Amino acid sequence: MQSQKVQTCGKHYIGNEQETQRNPTTYPNGTTKQESVSSNIDDRTIHELYLWPFYEGVKAGMASVMCSYNRINGTYACQNSKTLNGILKEELGFQGYVVSDWGGTHSGLDSALAGLDMDMPGAIEWGSDSGNNSYFGNNITMMIQNGSLAESRLDDMVKRILTPYYFFDQENYPTIDLDTAQLSKELYGSDIPSFSHPFNLGNSTDINRDVRGNHKDLIREIGSASAVLLKNTNNTLPLPKDIKRISVFGNDAADVSGGPYDPSNTNGVLSMGGGSGAGRLTHLVAPLEAIKQNNPQALIQYVTDNALLTQQPSETLYTVYPAADACLVFLKSFATEGADRLSFLADDNSTAVVDLVTGSGTCPNTVVILHSAGANLMPWADNENVTAIIAAHLPGEQAGNAIVDVLFGQVNPSGKLPYTIAYNESDYNAPVVNFTNVDNNDPNLWQSNFTEGLLIDYRHFDYNNITPRYEFGFGLSYTNFSISDLQIRSASNGNVSPTPQALNGTIPPPGGNPDLYTVLASVQVTVSNTGDMPGRAVPQIYLGFPDSTNTSSPTPVKVLRGFDRTKILQTSQSVTMSFDLRRMDVSSWDTGRQEWVIPAGEFMVLAGWSSRDLPLRGELQLV
């Protein structure tokens, strides 16, 4: 992104794992009733889990970081000196600027001293002038004048904000495209145009500037590449190109009925999330439309009203005749910024829809496609009439064409699950909670204690020996692959210092101590296409840490440390894949030393296709 002179922003920093009570609630007079939820996370877990992507982002040179709405161990993220000054700017050597999430600032001086560089949107209350009604603004001038804020800190804020602006030559960029009001007249007021209004930049030549380029082709490719094939009994997929009869069911198959922007609570395909994760679609290709275009020779029948299917099943299914060669059931599970999902099941009576279609006697060959932002329970997965399942996630405006490419074999699926799908809700260690005590007047009522530590997702399932329905990293292909010839090479022959080299100076370069990124070992495997169709494989490398690893909290059985997608391999073709293991990859955060430390003893190196399918094993000792 920054290669195109666009600033990146890493967010949300940090521990923003819950949307419920992400902002404080107030009494009618404006005083605080209950503070934002506090994410209470121990030091080791912050470093080894939640801080990890920020290490990588800062090392890569991202321009800014957005602090989150929640509190961290009792202090708001945007005025938390430990996480902003101590960890982000000092430990990680972050040289860019910290910007608040919109309305996430709750103080002026305390936030500035804690490391916040930019207060957004400026005004304390949206829709008002940000000059005198801001935690920063004119108050910064007052802080400088009364000596409560050092001028050097203001200089630091300005340098951090302007450095990426000039580094990326943004003063010479074209005018800004904004889906908002004319900035000279309105500032977040009640008259601000909604997402359904046209762009208005005050210059007619700039309205609706088309910057899409090859987006249509790219998002179609991304959509099909992110689809995960979970089940494919008797090679149901890919469907034959000369298929004669197709029946399509489910309200996720059709065009949206609620307009081009807001995907919530509307009939139609789910292509994106809600809130700030949404956008205006220039056009949307629904699955049903794409299926029709792809199969002009076929009889295509469809019922896309879930309520009709579940309330009048006999009358509705009776109209679908003759029986189809394949039934396609499209389900969805909406998620949005600002709210937590209330169920692990897909929306709109999804289970009943699948049960009715597969139980009608007319659909013994049913393919279920699920558009969802995350993990869902699949109680119908063992249904013998459900012969294939695809987790299609949120594919964007080419949703229909992307799934058709997978269904009919134009694309061989290579997606892998970035989460675990359980058999039961109780298998997860973060169950859906019905919190009923919300009227309590305790301002610190909302506490989220991260007692699971490092044991999230597959790590929890491994540690507690719970069998998942579909494990982390799982995903089928239309062909078969083998993995062999595991080779592990240490760069030091077991003579590595357990701690990184000392820094020359107090503040490290971006990413923290450079020695954390020193390659200490490499892992190599050979991947071969042993099937009868070209395809891509995704080998994965996991590490099991020695028994001597930090005992301050439970250590996962294994952790993912590398994965990559091969080029398209023709039948009988092989490729060698290599993965580097850096010092940080083989270290644990020692809370006593406040340092990354390589544990003594043997690491177990595992290679394979998912967190539960790792046929290759070897050992590595570094210290």
Boundary of a domain, candidates 379, 413, 447: 413
| Residue 169's pLDDT band (cuts 50, 70, 90) | very high
- Quote the domain boundaries for residue 547: 479-621
Q: Are residues 405 and 497 in the same domain?
A: no
Q: Are residues 86 and 155 in the same domain?
A: yes
Q: Which residue has the tokens 């009709």?
A: 308
User: Please, which contacts does 358-361 make with residues 24 or more away whose CB atoms are closer than 8 Å?
Assistant: 358/327, 358/383, 358/385, 358/386, 359/385, 360/313, 360/317
Query: 126 pLDDT exceeds 90?
Result: no
Helix (H) or strand (E) holding 480: none
The SS3 assignment for 439 reads coil
pLDDT, tens only, 562-615? 999 999 999 999 999 999 999 999 999 999 999 999 999 999 999 999 999 999
Cα–Cα distance between 83 and 90 in angstroms, integer?
10
As given in the structure block, the two tokens for residue 225 are: 């590449």
Q: Are residues 149 and 222 in the same domain?
A: no
**What was the pLDDT predicted at 173?**
76
218-239 per-residue burial string, b: 16 or more CB within 10 A, e: under 16: ebbeebbbbbbbbbbeeebbbb
CA angle (40, 551, 45) in 5-degree steps? 30
Model pTM score? 0.93
Query: Which position has the higher pLDDT, 574 or 5?
Result: 574
| Residue 189's pLDDT band (cuts 50, 70, 90) | very low
Q: Are residues 221 and 365 in the same domain?
A: yes
**What was the pLDDT predicted at 132?**
63
Q: Which amino acids are annotated catalytic?
A: 101
Contacts of 612 (CB under 8 A, 6+ apart): 468, 471, 474
**What was the pLDDT predicted at 180?**
43
Contacts of 593 (CB under 8 A, 6+ apart): 499
Beta-carbon count within 10 A of 493 CB: 9
For residue 532, the domain's CATH number is 2.60.40.10
As given in the structure block, the two tokens for residue 52 are: 């990890």
- Phi and psi at 235, nearest 5°, equal 55, 45
Query: Considering the domain boundaries, does residue 474 fall inside one?
Result: no
What is the number of alpha carbons within 13 Å of residue 466 lying toward its C-beta? 24
- Phi and psi at 224, nearest 5°, equal -75, -35
The SS3 assignment for 198 reads coil
| Residue 171's pLDDT band (cuts 50, 70, 90) | confident
Q: Are residues 374 and 484 in the same domain?
A: no
Q: Are residues 164 and 233 in the same domain?
A: no
As given in the structure block, the two tokens for residue 193 are: 């145009």
3-state secondary structure 142-197: HHHHHCCCCHHHHHHHHHHHHHHHHHCCHHHCCCCCCCCCCCCCCCCCCCCCCCCC
Query: Considering the domain boundaries, does residue 342 fall inside one?
Result: yes
Angle formed by the axes of helices 399-407 and 215-225, nearest 10° = 50
Query: Considering the domain boundaries, does residue 98 fall inside one?
Result: yes
For residue 130, the domain's CATH number is 3.20.20.300
Query: 494 pLDDT exceeds 70?
Result: no
**What was the pLDDT predicted at 128?**
57
Q: Are residues 151 and 219 in the same domain?
A: no
Q: Are residues 168 and 219 in the same domain?
A: no
Nearest to 14 by CA among 25, 48, 579: 48
Query: Considering the domain boundaries, does residue 186 fall inside one?
Result: no
Nearest to 488 by CA among 622, 303, 609, 370: 622
As given in the structure block, the two tokens for residue 494 are: 């077991």
Boundary of a domain, candidates 413, 430, 446: 413
Query: Considering the domain boundaries, does residue 408 fall inside one?
Result: yes
H runs (alpha helix) in 371-492:
399-407, 458-463
Boundary of a domain, candidates 393, 413, 433: 413
Query: 263 pLDDT exceeds 60?
Result: yes
Cα–Cα distance between 390 and 368 in angstroms, integer?
6
Write the DSSP assignment of 206-238 as a string of letters.
Answer: GTT----TTHHHHHHHHHHHT-EEEEEGGG--S
For residue 305, the domain's CATH number is 3.40.50.1700
What are the start-end ranges of the E strands in 429-475? Answer: 447-449
Q: Average pLDDT, stretch 224-240?
A: 98
- Phi and psi at 251, nearest 5°, equal -75, 0
Query: 243 pLDDT exceeds 90?
Result: yes
Q: Are residues 487 and 398 in the same domain?
A: no
Q: Are residues 168 and 235 in the same domain?
A: no
Q: Which amino acid is at 292?
A: K
Q: Are residues 225 and 151 in the same domain?
A: no
Q: Average pLDDT, stretch 287-292?
A: 98
Query: 277 pLDDT exceeds 80?
Result: no
Query: 90 pLDDT exceeds 90?
Result: yes
Query: Considering the domain boundaries, does residue 463 fall inside one?
Result: no
Number of domains in the chain: 3
Query: 192 pLDDT exceeds 50?
Result: no
Query: Considering the domain boundaries, does residue 437 fall inside one?
Result: no
Helix (H) or strand (E) holding 303: strand 299-303
pLDDT, tens only, 375-432? 999 999 999 999 999 999 999 999 999 999 999 999 999 999 999 999 999 999 876 6
Query: Considering the domain boundaries, does residue 196 fall inside one?
Result: no
Share of the chain above pLDDT 90, in %: 77
Q: How far apart are the first and last CA of the chain?
A: 39
Cα–Cα distance between 120 and 369 in angstroms, integer?
40
Q: Are residues 257 and 396 in the same domain?
A: yes
Q: Are 96 and 63 in contact (CB under 8 A)?
A: yes
Query: Cis link prior to 14 (omega < 30° from 0)?
Result: yes
Lowest-confidence region among 242-251, 307-316, 348-357, 597-606: 307-316
